[in-house]
Amino acid sequence: MLDSKVPAGPLAEKWSNHKFNLKLVNPANKRKFTIIVVGTGLAGASAAASLAELGYNVKTFCYQDSPRRAHSIAAQGGINAAKNYQNDGDSIFRLFYDTIKGGDYRAREANVYRLAENSVKIIDQCVAQGVPFAREYGGLLDNRSFGGAQVSRTFYARGQTGQQLLLGAYSALNRQIKKGKVKSYTRHEMLDLVVIDGHAKGIITRDLVTGKIEAHEGHAVLLCTGGYGNVFFLSTNAMGCNVTAAWRAHKRGAFFANPCYTQIHPTCIPVTGDHQSKLTLMSESLRNDGRVWVPKTKELAEKLRKGELGPNDIKEEDRDYFLERKYPSFGNLVPRDVASRNAKEVVDEGRGVGKTGFAVFLDFADAIKRMGEETVRAKYGNLFDMYQKITDENPYEVPMRIYPAVHYTMGGLWVDYNLMTTIPGLYCLGEANFSDHGANRLGASALMQGLSDGYFVIPYTVGDYLAGLGSFAPVDKNHPAFEETRKNDRR
């Protein structure tokens, strides 16, 4: 039987009460434990840095040449937090509610409330690390809206939010590497999990430079490898697609949850021909100021596809801003799945644009008129440049063309409230698990989950497990389980 270990009591008090009831490891004893962290994206880097700061010995593994090359770097639009800087009605409960509702109630409520609760701390943590969030004229942190919310709660660094957050976590990790508390193994792929007496006690890795198979022991193993990422034809292939670690853990007894729950992203650059195998994602933050539309009639759409008319030739009264028309409360900021379905509907009606007809317009003309081109360039400039390089069209002059595409698979390894899998001592953080973002379709939540798990959850919960081991002895790296597991991976 699965036991989620969700504590009793009111939702808003679960995490606070649970933290007090968790066992602690005193500072002198923390030095006796070694923790393995697989993956060095936002979840892995933040967890490794936090645990090392507490005094644990940490080993990190990534298959890139540097932790800063983790796929978290590709996130564009922002990170949510219930700071209510805009004084527009946001709150921890509203962020929790939007996240649960946006994920069709497939996320675990207690985990998501904790996520909303920790969100306010994440921003302070990142600002202290020097993350260059966008700021208003007076110096206060700026916010913008994102799909599925009626408030402005998304903190951002232009269209490079994931990169800047990762650099903040990476700098904290580097500090611990310099201090000798973290030993970093780059260009290493996890091949298998070592289980001794039912507990995770190490991993088998391959050095991707030399090909050498190695065994590494630890008192606990943290998988922070990102979503396992089914690869679809013409998808954004958004995740790092490192299924090895999660799949090996599954074969050792870790359960999956929601493994087929697939997110469709509405803001992809459309397919242009049969030479493509994947598509490029444009940040959902563009829907904050861009207006989505298609011609009202099939005839006008046909002329656009043939090149007889340009987008700017279509009169205002002949445009159908279909999201604003159908969902006036949210407008262009409806949740991703709603925006995606509606774009497909108008294309199926024959009103799609572009040469293939599989596209709708995302128009910034009104935003440029309202704010000025320089302001738009400051908010979205790198995204506009990326679009122009790919399409050879200037989005400052003509509307972008977008269309839905498969983004990634949102399930992952099953975890309890402590982020532990069904294998004792094996934890799963960030998008690699199913609990928070794993069943959530709202943008700017993945970054929130990764940093919440790494900075504010695992330092408490892993200590509870280690304190319960009843021994500070190092893991025996000569245990037969290491050699047996290693032999299974000589292929």
Q: Distance of CA 65 to CAs 59, 376, 425, Å?
A: 16, 35, 28
Residue-level pLDDT at 439 = 58
Amino acid at 171: S
Residues 432 and 228 sit within 8 Å (Cβ to Cβ): yes
Residue 402 and residue 66: Cα distance in Å, rounded? Answer: 33
What is the residue-level pLDDT of the chain in tens, covering all 491 positions? 899 999 999 999 999 999 999 999 999 999 999 999 999 999 999 999 999 999 999 999 999 999 988 888 888 888 999 999 999 999 999 999 998 888 888 889 999 999 999 999 999 999 999 999 999 988 899 998 888 888 999 999 988 899 999 999 999 999 999 999 999 999 999 999 999 999 999 999 999 999 999 999 999 999 999 877 666 777 776 544 556 788 899 999 999 988 777 788 899 999 887 777 778 888 888 998 999 999 999 999 999 999 999 999 999 999 999 999 999 999 998 988 899 999 999 999 999 999 999 999 999 999 999 999 999 998 898 899 999 999 999 999 999 999 998 877 778 899 999 999 999 999 999 989 998 875 556 778 889 999 999 999 999 999 999 999 999 999 999 999 999 998 876 54
- Architecture of the domain made up of 12-261+410-488: 3-Layer(bba) Sandwich (3.50)
Residue 215 and residue 190: Cα distance in Å, rounded? Answer: 10
Is 336 known to be catalytic? yes
Residue-level pLDDT at 242 = 58
For 346, the enclosing helix (H) or strand (E) is: helix 336-346
User: Quick one: residue 385, left, alpha or beta (phi over 0 = left, psi -120 to 50 = alpha)?
Assistant: alpha
Residue-level pLDDT at 441 = 66
Residue-level pLDDT at 276 = 75
**CA proximity to 292, closest of 271, 266, 254:** 266
Q: Could you say which of 336, 351, 401, 441 is catalytic?
A: 336
The top-level CATH class assigned to 265-407 is alpha beta
Concatenate the DSSP letters of all residues of 194-238 into one string.
EEETTEEEEEEEEETTT--EEEEE-SEEEE---------TTB---
Residue-level pLDDT at 240 = 46
Residue 184 and residue 67: Cα distance in Å, rounded? Answer: 9
Collapsing DSSP states into helix, strand and coil, what is residue 264? strand
Domain locations in the chain as residue ranges: 12-261+410-488, 265-407
